[in-house]
């Protein structure tokens, strides 16, 4: 009988300990994609550098092909936090009744740094945006984040994006090839493909998104509002680690190249041509979201008819936002 | 001799045609066969890649096994019962032409982004050909054999297991063979949108990064996996239904 009682007590203690551990280790289901999320790549590949990760909270990582499916997964409650673009997140709000907070920012177009641009062949007769009339123009995603500023620039230069050009979808990875093969007259380039095309020569920049507005935010980190409200401490710990991950990524470029190479399975030599250099996107040292820039982008999307008018303030949590130390 | 080396010659011919086409087109996104072959050791030599392949093959094995276990009895029942066939046939006709990968975003919303949704896509891909072939195999069983079984005192279930199943086995295994190839296809496509691990990690990341030698190396690896799995399955099939080979037919005339 005594043995039985001891066993029962031991069993109950085990259950209690497990329950406590489960409570302490809240799992956050995080969606990610490639490229340009260096702070998250650090957390994935160098978890020991983040003392809270695995102790106060856990992460279940799922890789997605682009931000739009992650918006669906957030709206359906299949993810708690994910990489988002301002447009995809707003589409989730408008079409999917998603309520979310922007907790950090990954990359943006810093003045003087890399800006997504439309390129033409060196010998092309197209010299200005106005010359695009009647031409076939490639864009990475029709209806994607770059189209708002693109449409605006075309309109400003007297080109109707709906009638005056033939717009075709050409993914970034094949855009250079499509241009050189003559399948499109102009196409948008992103890193690392822009660096590769420039190294090879024979193409030139026609215009870039930064002409529409500076500080364009490309990707940010968003979490479902109900999840943040229910698990504020776990999300705070996550934001602290994103802040710390961004600092590590910027402070140690050599290690960051290795980390990114491990995640992207791309050779370090390819990444070295642009990553964290002047010809790369900008990264805020504290991963702080630039809400005024996001608001400006939402205004452009509204102006070009891609979204109704939205207030970026709805995405701002009063306390849980990078940088958190 | 020629029969033995014919598959190798076919593969070699394909690689030569690919090499020539790539050299003629001079397109960055279409590497030569040699470039793709040279990228294979790097893919297979990476520890992460092996973990990814293991995860994909595990999901494929579970999806395939579950589909076979459920689809064969269902197909046999459909083949022997008009009521069951009338109930399931319209449902299958609706599901059959739908590309299973297209269901992934919806399934993902119901079952989450983990293994379950991917395994379900594989299950759906495999189950339809297995059900269809089991159905056709069971339908083709001669009534006389079933009457004889009934006359010898076999119950309906016993007749299904001891007469219908063996008689339909060659057709069922043809369905399983088709299902195996579809399992491989759906294994990759199920990882297209969301993934935690899997061969899709290597393939789709390489595609995003424009590393076409790796993309085509993956295509060769997946193709080779298909050949190996098919050859293994064919050996198993030959053992199980050796009796149905033409040389075992009893000659009806000596003319």
One domain, residues A81 and A229:
yes
Give the separation between CA A292 and CA A213, rounded to whole angstroms.
Answer: 12
One domain, residues A136 and A205:
yes
Average pLDDT over residues B104-132: 90
One domain, residues A188 and A244:
no
Angle between helices A291-303 and A147-156 (to 10 degrees): 60
One domain, residues A306 and A184:
no
Q: Where are the beta strands (DSSP E) in chain A?
A: 26-32, 57-64, 81-84, 100-108, 117-121, 136-139, 166-169, 186-189, 203-208, 217-224
Average pLDDT over residues A246-263: 96
Count of beta carbons in the 10 Å neighbourhood of residue A135: 17
CB contact under 8 A, A177 and B214: no
Residues forming beta bridges with residue A57, ordered by sequence position: A26, A53
Give the closest-approach CA distance of A13 to chain B in angstroms: 32
Asked if pLDDT for residue A1 goes beyond 70, the answer is no
Where is B195: in which H helix or E strand?
strand B194-195
Average pLDDT over residues B26-51: 91
Q: Where are the domains of chain B?
A: 26-239
Of A195, A211, A227, the one marking the end of a domain is: A211
| Candidates 3.40.228.10, 1.10.3720.10, 3.30.360.10, 1.20.140.10; CATH matching B26-239 | 1.10.3720.10
- A62 → closest Cβ in B109, B113, B206: B113
- For residue A323, being part of any structural domain is answered with no
Nearest C-alpha in A relative to B25 = A181
One domain, residues A31 and A72:
yes
- For residue A321, being part of any structural domain is answered with no
One domain, residues A206 and A251:
no
Res. B251 pLDDT band, cuts 50 70 90: low
Res. B5 pLDDT band, cuts 50 70 90: confident
Provide the total of helices (H) and of strands (E) in chain A, helices listed first: 12, 10
User: What sign does the CA torsion over B83, B84, B88, B89 have?
Assistant: negative
Give the separation between CA B233 and CA B239, rounded to whole angstroms.
Answer: 10
Q: Does A76 touch chain B (CB under 8 A)?
A: yes
Give pLDDT tens digits for B190-204.
Answer: 888 888 889 988 898
Of A185, A211, A237, the one marking the end of a domain is: A211
- For residue A229, being part of any structural domain is answered with yes
- For residue A24, being part of any structural domain is answered with yes
One domain, residues A280 and A131:
no
- For residue A78, being part of any structural domain is answered with yes
One domain, residues A197 and A130:
yes
Asked if pLDDT for residue A154 goes beyond 70, the answer is yes
Of A176, A211, A246, the one marking the end of a domain is: A211
Res. A30 pLDDT band, cuts 50 70 90: very high
CATH label of the domain that carries residue A224 = 3.40.190.10
Nearest C-alpha in A relative to B117 = A78
- For residue A175, being part of any structural domain is answered with yes
One domain, residues A100 and A127:
no
Task: For chain A, give the percent of residues with pLDDT over 70.
Answer: 93
Which of B22, B25, B200, B208 to probe the A interface (max A CBs under 10 A)?
Answer: B208
Average pLDDT, chain B: 90
Res. B104 pLDDT band, cuts 50 70 90: confident
- For residue A324, being part of any structural domain is answered with no
- For residue A53, being part of any structural domain is answered with yes
Which range (A112-126, B87-101, B234-248) has the least confidence? B234-248
Alpha-carbon dihedral angle through residues B228, B233, B235, B239, given to the nearest 10 degrees: 170
Residue B2, pLDDT score: 76
Res. A219 pLDDT band, cuts 50 70 90: very high
State which residues form the domain around A195. Answer: 117-211
Res. B252 pLDDT band, cuts 50 70 90: low
Counting the structural domains of chain A, the total is: 2
Give pLDDT tens digits for A287-320.
Answer: 999 999 999 999 999 998 889 999 999 999 999 9
């Amino acid at each position: 009988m005594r043995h039985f009682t001891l066993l029962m007590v031991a069993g109950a203690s085990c259950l209690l300990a497990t329950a406590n551990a489960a409570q302490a280790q809240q799992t956050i289901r995080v969606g990610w994609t490639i490229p340009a999320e260096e702070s998250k790549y650090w957390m994935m590949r160098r978890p020991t550098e983040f003392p809270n990760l695995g102790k106060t909270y856990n992460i279940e990582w799922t890789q997605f092909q682009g931000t739009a499916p992650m918006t669906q997964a957030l709206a359906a409650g299949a993810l708690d936090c994910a990489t988002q673009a301002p447009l995809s997140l707003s589409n989730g709000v408008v079409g999917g009744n998603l309520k979310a907070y922007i907790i950090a920012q990954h990359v943006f177009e810093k003045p003087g740094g890399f800006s997504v641009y439309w390129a033409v062949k060196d010998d092309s007769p197209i010299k200005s945006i106005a010359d695009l009339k009647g031409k076939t123009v490639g864009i990475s995603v029709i209806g994607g984040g770059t189209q708002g500023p693109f449409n605006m620039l075309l309109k400003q230069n007297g080109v109707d994006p709906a009638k005056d050009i033939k717009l075709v979808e050409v993914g970034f990875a094949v855009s250079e090839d499509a241009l050189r093969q003559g399948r499109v007259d102009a196409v948008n380039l992103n890193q690392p493909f822009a660096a590769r095309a420039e190294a090879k020569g024979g193409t030139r920049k026609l215009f870039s998104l930064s002409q529409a507005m500076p500080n364009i935010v490309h990707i940010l980190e968003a979490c479902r509002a109900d999840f943040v409200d229910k698990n504020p401490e776990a999300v705070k710990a996550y934001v602290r680690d994103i802040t710390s991950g961004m600092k590590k990524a910027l402070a140690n470029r050599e290690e960051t190249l290795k980390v990114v190479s491990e995640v992207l399975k791309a050779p370090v030599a390819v990444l070295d041509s642009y990553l964290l250099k002047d010809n790369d996107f900008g990264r805020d040292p504290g991963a702080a979201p630039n809400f005024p820039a996001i608001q400006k982008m939402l205004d452009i999307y509204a102006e070009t008819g891609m979204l109704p008018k939205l207030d970026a303030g709805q995405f701002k949590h009063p306390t849980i936002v990078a940088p958190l130390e | 001799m020629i029969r033995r080396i014919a598959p190798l010659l076919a593969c070699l011919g394909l690689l030569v045609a690919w090499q020539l086409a790539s050299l003629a087109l001079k397109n960055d996104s279409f590497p030569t066969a040699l470039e793709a072959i040279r990228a294979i050791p790097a893919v297979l030599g990476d520890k992460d890649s092996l973990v990814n392949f293991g995860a994909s093959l595990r999901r494929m094995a579970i999806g395939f096994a579950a589909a076979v276990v459920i689809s064969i009895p269902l197909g046999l029942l459909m083949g022997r019962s008009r009521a069951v066939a009338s109930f399931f046939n319209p449902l299958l006709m609706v599901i059959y032409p739908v590309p299973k990968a297209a269901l992934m975003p919806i399934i993902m919303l119901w079952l989450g982004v983990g293994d379950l949704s991917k395994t379900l896509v594989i299950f759906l891909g495999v189950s339809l050909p297995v059900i269809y072939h089991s159905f056709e195999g069971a339908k083709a069983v001669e009534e006389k054999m079933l009457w004889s079984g009934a006359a010898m005192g076999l119950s309906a279930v016993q007749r299904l297991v001891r007469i219908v199943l063996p008689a339909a086995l060659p057709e069922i295994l043809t369905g399983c063979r088709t299902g195996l190839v579809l399992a491989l296809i759906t294994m990759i496509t199920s990882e297209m949108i969301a993934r935690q691990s899997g061969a899709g990690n290597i393939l789709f990341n390489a595609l995003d990064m424009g590393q076409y030698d790796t993309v085509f190396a993956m295509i060769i690896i997946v193709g080779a996996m298909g050949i190996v799995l098919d050859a293994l399955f064919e050996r198993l099939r030959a053992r199980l239904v050796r009796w149905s080979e033409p040389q075992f037919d009893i000659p009806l005339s000596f003319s």
